[in-house]
Structure 1
């Protein structure tokens, strides 16, 4: 792998100013880094498909796909994964339980990209009709968190509804068989079941009610401290892919290379990819390091979201206790370093 001396010195100065450890040699802490991802439709899949992280860092990447945030958390907690994408609910669950990770990037504000869809003919026309129905959701996920929150706001409890723990592929199969009445899920399954169902409520609506959700990139604290420049370069790659998508604007279509890469990595129909990505919001680096997301410690949006999510999960007896300060699990320094690398 090659790094110029000028680049290394500049990077070291910036990293030290941010309180990060810097590797003394030209190598990162690992020759092979394991990064986890999930099946969301986002510009990140273009970086994976085109091996942009490998090109940027010169490091061999072992990519691992996870069906849920809970499984991704298990991977990073076991030490078999160095960085991974997970939803805000499984991240909150992990840090509340003391898993030594930190949130370093907001992959996407979920907004309308997750929703509770009820099957046509199920008899569900309003929230009260959910009583006695079988609703599938991946447990310990952002949709599980929002499902529980929705039930509470609807004046219902888990006892009123038959919640079934299913991963996305299982939900798709169960829907096809007619085994479930509804599901709270993300694309590509979301787009498929919408064809024979209708949205009862979306995560954007629930976020507006005070419980926002997002997908984030988390890193093992020990790995990130040993290789801060690697984490910053990963973020730089993600930020560039996000910027390319945002710049496309209304011209983003199924012909765009990002859409093609999403289909290559995740699957689904190209038109569905375009429609689904429009439901997300992808914050740029200035927004990431601001108080809206990673910045401002406990006053920051991400730290508050993790706290509020954890408080709700505690109330629902999904976790046993709260951390004193959730900002210790949110670190904007790597995004700040990535911003310096793009200047």
Structure 2
């Protein structure tokens, strides 16, 4: 009887402790878009890593990387999974408002300029109607493609669309080419409906995904943000150690077969926190400077804009 009472008491203590722990989880509003490179985010949610870190992550999906940055600055989001170039554009217009605290991945073929049946090379883009997200990383990739074909934006007609809408438009034949991402690349090229005219593998370090926070978010939720990064790091390690299970989790989140996810992962390079810090102190910093120059030349940002303070390689330490 004593053993039974002890067992019951132990169960009650465990239940109460668990309830207390659940009550202690702190809300964290996180924006993201449906992108295979964010596989660690999907895994951390599925495996409970965020909850284990004391967080109640409240996800909100956006159709393009830059869309969540305004809500981030206004305080409607605590964290946004975005792209470095989008953070550069937004912070250049609001200096000191944003900080990139970690790199998640860099695209190495998972973004592409796709052309219809008659568009096979960058030079074939001349005179074509192209769907692209203007002012964001997709336009940067298109610029690289046009340069490879000896062309400029004056040689084509641009239609402003987010990457998913661009893929849909190309599939429907409403545009001649589209700047899009996975899973559209695999789906359209695999079905013989499109050609990969130019990919991010040909433009290294141009499209890099990152974790962005706001200045006010850093002051109010620095501990929670650090816990988020630790959970993401744990998830990244899981992806590398268990690629099949991770692909199944991401496939469910993205509504894509796991086998397709595995193929897509071969087109991105995932960063853990150590690699992220090293990149932000090296190649990613150089790329950020180059992107800033590109945007200045386009007139997207002021000539005196700077990326100083935007990259925070030591935030997680």
* Bin of the TM-score, shorter chain as denominator length: 0.7 to 0.9
Q: State how many pairs are aligned.
A: 293
Provide structure 1 residue ranges, at least 5 long, that are not aligned to the other structure.
3-26, 337-343
The aligned counterpart of 1:273 is 261
Note the C-alpha offset of 1:179: 0.7
1:173–1:150 distance in 2 versus 1, CA, 3 Å: closer
- The equivalent position to 1:227 in structure 2, one of 201, 221, 243, is 221
SS of corresponding position for 2:127: coil
The aligned counterpart of 2:240 is 246
1:53 counterpart = 2:41: no
The aligned counterpart of 2:277 is 289
1:199 counterpart = 2:196: yes
- The equivalent position to 1:144 in structure 2, one of 139, 142, 155, is 139
Provide structure 2 residue ranges, at least 5 long, that are not aligned to the other structure.
1-16, 18-23
The aligned counterpart of 1:307 is 289
- The equivalent position to 2:105 in structure 1, one of 97, 103, 108, is 108
Task: Give distance in 2, aligned partners of 1:270 and 1:244.
Answer: 16
- The equivalent position to 1:86 in structure 2, one of 61, 78, 82, is 82
1:202–1:259 distance in 2 versus 1, CA, 3 Å: same
- Greater fraction of residues in helix: 2
RMSD over aligned CA atoms reads 2.4
The within-5 A match list for 1:113-128 is 113-120=110-117, 123-128=118-123
SS of corresponding position for 1:334: coil
The aligned counterpart of 1:339 is none
- The equivalent position to 2:249 in structure 1, one of 261, 267, 278, is 261
The aligned counterpart of 2:93 is 97
Contact 1:96 1:323 in 2 (8 A): yes
Contact 2:49 2:235 in 1 (8 A): no
Contact 2:127 2:155 in 1 (8 A): yes
Contact 1:303 1:327 in 2 (8 A): no
Larger Rg: 2
Task: Give distance in 1, aligned partners of 2:211 and 2:295.
Answer: 21
Task: Give distance in 1, aligned partners of 2:280 and 2:91.
Answer: 16
The within-5 A match list for 1:116-195 is 116-120=113-117, 123-194=118-189, 195=191
The aligned counterpart of 1:22 is none
Deviations 1:214-272 (A, max 9, x none): 00110112212333222121111111111122224xxx33xx1x122212222222221
Q: TM-score, normalised by structure 2?
A: 0.85
Contact 2:122 2:198 in 1 (8 A): no
Q: Structure 1 residues 70-79 or 230-239, which shifts more? A: 70-79
Task: Give distance in 2, aligned partners of 1:230 and 1:111.
Answer: 31
